[in-house]
């Protein structure tokens, strides 16, 4: 079994976000809020191309040095647990456990290089779900990549409901990827979430990304 004591800081790049969350070129021009973007380079890469991404994460309460230390402590745990369970993953875009180390490290390095200026420009905002310090409908899309559903064993069902409700308060549309927990099983919260948000437009969409075996679907919720 893969088991994490806490939510781990790990970061993906713009190409990965684009595939996981089915972000079209016109989506990338919208006001995007990344909830739990952590040390991903999605924010800096997209904003360097003229995008409007804001990321919120409790990691941003910490200094650059502390984040760097947290990443290097976590890195070996993630790699070791992934290496121990290769059957839970599809080794395609990320061809091997060694690449699994290299690709995110490049992304996290880019994030670290952008961290201090991004914090000064309010692109990285310290904070945490289920409370977002933003006005109603101040974003077009709110994203969760590798946080909600993935950490089903660490976070409660009520936390999921409160977080998604809050994301729908600040954004017109919410996209969540993946729908699996860390052991590549469908999150036991998915059905309850679908039932709790019947008044919204809901879609489970197949996406062009699969690293966890069976993890190629995202949930889209839209305010009408
Ligand atoms: C596995 S990382 C995913 C990073 C990025 N979204 C990606 O896909 O590459 C999970 C992130 O969730 C953040 N996190 C933990 N608790 C949170 C909360 N209550 N609200 C928002 N983010 C949180 C962690 O700090 C961490 O950066």
45-60: per-residue pLDDT in tens?
999 999 999 999 999 9
Cis preceding linkage at 150, omega within 30? no
59 lines ligand 1 (CB under 6 A): yes
Helices then strands, counting H and E runs in the chain, come out as 6, 7
What's the pLDDT at 99?
Answer: 80
What's the pLDDT at 177?
Answer: 98
> How high is the mean pLDDT in each 10-residue block of the chain (224 residues)?
82 96 98 98 98 98 96 88 87 81 91 98 98 98 98 97 98 98 96 98 97 95 92
Nearest ligand 1 atom to alpha carbon 104 = 9
* Side-chain-facing half-sphere of 79: CA atoms under 13 Å: 16
Decide: 207 and 177 in contact? Cβ < 8 Å. Answer: yes
What's the pLDDT at 87?
Answer: 87
CA of 40 from ligand 1 middle (Å) equals 9
Query: Which residue's alpha carbon is nearest to atom 14 within ligand 1?
Result: 36
Beta strands in the chain (DSSP E): 31-35, 52-57, 124-126, 139-145, 171-177, 201-206, 217-222
What's the pLDDT at 16?
Answer: 95
With the most atoms of ligand 1 within 8 angstroms of its CB, the residue from 38, 152, 160 to mutate is 38
Q: What is the pTM of this model?
A: 0.96
Instruction: Give 200's contacts (C-beta < 8 A, 6+ positions apart).
Output: 168, 221, 222, 223, 224
User: Rounded CA gap, 130 and 155, in Å?
Assistant: 11
Q: What is the DSSP letter of 131?
A: B
What's the pLDDT at 127?
Answer: 98
* Side-chain-facing half-sphere of 20: CA atoms under 13 Å: 22
What's the pLDDT at 53?
Answer: 98
């Amino acid at each position: 079994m893969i088991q994490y004591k806490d939510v781990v800081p790990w970061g993906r790049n713009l190409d990965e976000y684009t595939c996981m969350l089915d972000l079209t070129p016109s989506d990338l021009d919208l006001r995007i809020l990344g909830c739990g973007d952590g040390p991903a380079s999605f924010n800096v890469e997209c904003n360097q191309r003229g995008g409007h991404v804001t990321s919120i994460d409790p990691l941003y309460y910490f200094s650059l040095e502390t984040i760097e230390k947290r990443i290097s402590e976590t890195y070996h745990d993630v790699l070791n647990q992934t290496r121990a369970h290769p059957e839970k993953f599809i080794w395609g875009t990320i061809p091997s456990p060694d690449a699994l180390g290299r690709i995110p490290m490049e992304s996290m390095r880019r994030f670290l290089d952008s961290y201090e200026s991004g914090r000064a420009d309010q692109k990285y905002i310290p904070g945490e779900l289920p409370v977002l310090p933003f006005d109603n409908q101040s974003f077009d899309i709110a994203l969760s990549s590798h946080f909600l559903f993935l950490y089903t064993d660490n976070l409660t069902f009520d936390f999921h409901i409160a977080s998604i409700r809050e994301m729908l308060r600040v954004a017109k549309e919410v996209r969540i990827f993946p729908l699996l927990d860390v052991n590549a099983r469908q999150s036991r919260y998915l059905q309850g979430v679908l039932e709790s948000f019947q008044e919204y437009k809901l879609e489970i969409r197949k996406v062009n990304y699969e690293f966890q075996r069976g993890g190629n679907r995202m949930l889209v919720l839209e305010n009408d």
